[in-house]
Amino acid sequence: MAEPHDLTALEQAAAIARSELSSVELVAHHLDRVDALGDALGAFVTVTAERALAAARAADAVPADQRGPLHGVPTAIKDLTLTAGVRTTFGSAAFADFVPPVDADVVRLMTAAGLVSLGKTTTSELGCSLYSEGLVAPPARNPWDLAYTAGGSSGGAAAAVAGGLVPVAQGSDGGGSLRIPASLCGLVGYKPSRGLVSGGPLGFGAFGLPTNGPIGRTVADVAALLDVLAEPVPGEPYLPPPRPEGGHLGAARRAAPGRLRIGRFTAPMLADEPVHPDCVAAVDRAAALLTAAGHEVVEVDPPLGPAAWPLFETVWYVLALAPVPPEREAQLLPLTRLLRSRGAAVSAGTLVATLGELQAQVRLGARRTAECDLLLCPTLAVPQAPVGWFIVDGDPAADFDRQRRFSPYCAIFNVTGEPSVSLPIGRTATDLPVGVLLTGRYGDDARLLGTAAQLEHCSDGWDRHPAIWRGVDSANVNGSGVGGSAP
């Protein structure tokens, strides 16, 4: 028998609209799952059960003609994202008791759309790493096998969605932080075009690298949440691309991008590193499906190469310099302290020169791939990594380098500002997910989502579940559900 969490986000909203389920019933059901599985998955730092149930009651009282496509649906907010009145730790013991007085714009927009947050999802400290293993919550674990990481920095969001704790979640991506967890956990993780989603009300735009975005089980769910997030907000540093006719959900539902020229490559861009055969095989499968759908898939050189790494590295060091009270610096993790010490050594002149050279390389890369409508490559160089693998030797410099070699693709598209999505095309021999990265032209989010949805249909859908999905049946824990897949 189907359980409420078996429904996609859009299906849950439709069930509410038909009065088959209430938002209160959905929220209570998912809170039971959070209570049973949240710590095992390391999905949440803070659960706001009473607040969520109150919001669900308010959602149920809204007249039907004032409800949007995701009204009343449970969701979650990344712990890097300001949430008024809710503890927001930024993944750090240095902010363990911090409660913001204001909402981030994306939180305000999700609340206005009738989504109901169950709490704050686990993230890496200050968003500095691609795994989520800190001191304020259990490590975010992959629901397909709890021995493996759910990634970062939106690792808790991915664990929550892949484990059936919420159907869709908000995250952010400054160097792959949505797409990496999506690849590891078998989800759709979407980094929008620069400027499409507000980063406010605080911050300076961070050189255009990070952006808020959605993560979910289907392209349509992700597109629906993107429509909620992609409302223009005055004062943002980057001009948003125009909204497509019918919205991003309309583009996903049409799944008809037209015949495209798609550039395929597997060579890593930020590291001269061998790529695992499973990652190449996933790209091969995606290319075959796209060709069968009528697109032209051609081999191309990557837009940028390993020479760009020192430039991105310098910028990343500077971005680690988020304000931290001096008396709390000692509470930061070794990796965070290392990045901040290196960032503090970067002069203003060096930073300006680095940004200039990085933009020059982006221009050259864009010209090399200008004849392609989309780019196709692996999301990661290795399919999975065990919890603790990055910090195994206790050396933060080795940890940072290990991350670069593990993920040498995603961050380039933060530099270019282009929309980029990880799609769960492949599987390992042990049935763990393997993602591919599909990237569009700047501002052409609708075409990218339409192609992703077309690829989803050609793959017979991606809404597959790990065995832990059935670890809670009607709010009763029946087993550990570690590894394997459920029907």
Per-residue pLDDT averaged across 426-447, rounded? Answer: 97
Task: State the catalytic residue, choosing from 23, 132, 154, 177.
Answer: 177
Q: Which amino acid is at 34?
A: V
CATH number at residue 187: 3.90.1300.10
Instruction: Note whether residue 152 is domain-resident.
Output: yes
Confirm whether pTM is higher than 0.85: yes
Closest C-alpha among 243, 183, 303 to residue 449: 243
Question: At residue 402, does pLDDT exceed 60?
Answer: yes
The pLDDT value given to residue 1: 54
As a whole number of angstroms, the distance between CA 61 and CA 14 comes to 16
The answer as to whether 246 is a domain residue is yes
Q: Could you read off the pLDDT of 74-118 as tens digits, one per residue? A: 999 999 999 999 999 999 999 999 999 999 999 999 999 999 999
- Tokens representing 297 are 């898939």
153 is a catalytic site residue: yes
Name the catalytic one among 23, 153, 172, 422: 153
Number of domains present in the structure of the chain = 1
Q: Give the pLDDT confidence score for residue 385 in this predicted structure.
A: 98
pLDDT at 478: 30
For residue 252, what are the domain limits? 8-478
The verdict on residue 483 lying in a domain is no
- If you average pLDDT over every residue of the chain, what do you get? 95
Three-state DSSP at 32 gives helix
Q: Which token pair is 145? A: 């096998």
In 10 A of CB 356, how many CB atoms? Answer: 11
Q: Would 1 be classed as within a structural domain?
A: no
pLDDT of residue 471: 75
For 129-142, what is each residue's pLDDT tens digit? 999 999 999 999 99
- Mean pLDDT of all residues in 16-23: 97
Residues 272 and 263: beta-carbon distance below 8 Å = no
Q: What is the mean pLDDT of residues 156-160?
A: 98
| Cis-peptide into 201, omega within 30 deg | yes
Distances, alpha carbon 237 to alpha carbons 126, 127, 213, 230, in Å: 21, 21, 17, 15
Q: What is the pLDDT of residue 473?
A: 56
- Structural domain contains residue 487: no
**Quick one: 35 exposed, middle or buried, by C-beta within 10 A (0-12, 13-18, 19+)?**
middle
78 is catalytic: yes
Give the residue-averaged pLDDT of 389-415: 97
Q: What sign for the dihedral angle of Cα 349, 351, 354, 359?
A: negative
| Cα pseudo-dihedral 89, 93, 99, 100, rounded to 10 | -50
pLDDT of 21 above 70: yes
In the structure encoding, which two tokens stand for residue 458, read together?
A: 């050609």
User: Residue 358's pLDDT is what?
Assistant: 95
Residue 44 lies in a domain: yes
Compute the average pLDDT of residues 47-53: 98
Find the catalytic residue in 23, 78, 129, 191: 78
User: Per the domain annotation, does 2 fall within a domain?
Assistant: no
With respect to residue 485, please indicate whether it lies within any of the assigned structural domains. no
The question of whether 485 is a catalytic residue gets the answer no
Q: What is the mean pLDDT of residues 52-77?
A: 98
